[in-house]
A and B are shown apart, each in its own frame.
Chain A
Amino acid sequence: MSLFSKENGEVFMGPLNLNNPVTVQVLGICSALAVTSQLKPAIVMGLSVTAITAFSNVIISLIRKTIPNRIRIIVQLVVVAALVTIVSNILKAYVYDVSVQLSVYVGLIITNCILMGRLEAFAMQNGPWESFLDGIGNGLGYAAILVIVGFVRELLGFGTILGFQVIPECAYVENGGLYINNGMMTMPAMALIIVACVIWVHRAYNKNIE
């Protein structure tokens, strides 16, 4: 079987669309609420989860035949926890301001259901390459939703994108315009509503999703 066969393509593309972990499997919602009030932490969180799912999938897949069945969940957890600790250390060393913003949520990647779900459902039965693709696909599927939510929330809540003012200053009420930032968007509850809207649009286009 070649590295980029049709089956592998599906393993990779599935989670980006028809089997998206957030909108279809509704996993990882908690962190999607917490870190998406601005775009930058959402992107960093998405990339961190992608890296961690991909590498934990590969590691578990490599050692899957040696793992004692009775402690397999513990082994998975240890691998994930170790990777999360490493990523969290790297963030603190190289993107300190983002790691302050993400605060506890980097540590909470350990409990992100997407990770354990993919390890148990996919990496335990498949080879390292397929598992790597599956991890990247699921991570990016999650990241894509985070970025959409982060984009909408930052634009409407702060009038900025990645910290740059995009809504012109003169449009604001205090400068004689008609616009005012929507403070509701900075609240976690709005993330749920935006995720729901994304799910709505997604299902309207893909009628066969149950």
Chain B
Amino acid sequence: MEKLNTNSNAYTIIYASVMVIIVAFLLAFVSSALKPTQDANVELDKKSQILAALNIRGVEDVAAKYDEVVKSDAIFGADASQGPKAETGGFAVANKDITADNRPLYIAEVDGEQKKVVPVKGAGLWGGLWGYIAVDADGETIYGTYFSHESETAGLGARIAEQWFQDSFRGKKLYAADGNDIVLCAVKPGKEGTLSPDNYVDGITGATLTTDGVNNMIKECMTLYKDILTNK
């Protein structure tokens, strides 16, 4: 048999085409076969973040606990006084799709008390920030928080994802005693100015820009949900 010339143009082109088609089918197959498991993981991760904002961390069966604690995931439209525009489906709303007219809110019940969990999103120093803030029924006391980030500096900004920072918000108030603006923030010790101790937590040393990002995120997103949480 004559030896095939593997250097001819025709051979090269056919080889490349066949290879690409085989690989494309293979990848499409793997991706569609694993898609359901991956989606379930993403969902489970989101549920565990919402639970973390409710100070429920490290549970074994996240899905069951979530179903037990979170009572509804309603979506509110631009006018909150008319009630939610959809009773369920908030869970499926991606962070980037949250607008004044499309506001998912998780209503949970912990130890017989109602908590409202607000999804928040913002920008840190290097990339996006997001999280969940659980608020008591009074609409201003923080019950718990959860923050995460895309790519903040390890050991500095990345510490917003640590539990001690998130726990430091517990029991703090969103509003100043005599004001209607969201003032809750993390500040450098000594820079709190006229803020009452109820309205600030200690910032993270060396992570001023990430902390500013968290502050902006709280201010913007909680202002967006203000009318749902309280009558202020």
Contact = CB atoms under 8 A, between A and B. Distances in A.
B155 interface: yes
- The majority secondary structure among interface residues of chain A is helix
Interface residues of B, number: 22
Contact of B38 (A75, A79, A93, A188): A93
Contact of B6 (A67, A82, A93): A67
Interface in B21-57: 23, 26-27, 30-31, 34, 37-38, 41-42, 44-45
Interface stretch (B8-16, B79-87, B133-141, B183-191): B8-16
Contacts of B42: 96
A96 B27 CA distance: 19
Interface in A126-180: 157
A90 B41 CA distance: 12
Which of B20, B42, B154 is the most central at the interface, judged by chain A CB atoms within 10 Å of its CB?
Answer: B154
Nearest to A99: B41
Contacts of A89: 30-31, 34, 38
A186 B162 CA distance: 14
B230 interface: no
Contact of A93 (B37, B154, B155): B37
A92 B36 CA distance: 11
A86 B15 contact: no
A66 B31 contact: no
A6 interface: no
B15 A67 contact: yes
Nearest to B41: A96
A31 B113 CA distance: 47
A89 B20 CA distance: 19
B12 A70 contact: yes
A68 B11 contact: yes
Interface string A56-79: 000000000111111100110011
B19 A75 contact: yes
B30 A183 contact: no
Interface in A94-122: 94, 96-97, 100
B23 A86 contact: no
Nearest to A63: B19
Interface in B66-111: none
A92 B6 contact: no
A187 to B, nearest CB: 6
B7 interface: yes
Given A94-B37, A183-B155, A69 B7 contact: yes
A37 interface: yes
Contact of A92 (B11, B12, B19, B41): B41
A37 B30 contact: no
Contacts of A79: 23
Given A37-B154, A66-B6, 12 more contacts: A68-B7, A68-B15, A68-B16, A75-B15, A86-B30, A89-B38, A90-B34, A93-B41, A96-B38, A96-B42, A96-B44, A187-B154
Interface of B: 6-7, 11-12, 15-16, 19-20, 23, 26-27, 30-31, 34, 37-38, 41-42, 44-45, 154-155
Interface of A: 37, 65-71, 74-75, 78-79, 82, 85-86, 89-90, 92-94, 96-97, 100, 157, 183, 186-188
27 contacts: A37-B154, A66-B6, A67-B15, A69-B7, A71-B12, A71-B15, A74-B16, A75-B16, A78-B19, A82-B26, A82-B27, A86-B26, A86-B27, A89-B34, A89-B38, A92-B34, A92-B41, A93-B34, A93-B37, A93-B38, A93-B41, A96-B38, A96-B42, A186-B154, A186-B155, A187-B154, A188-B154
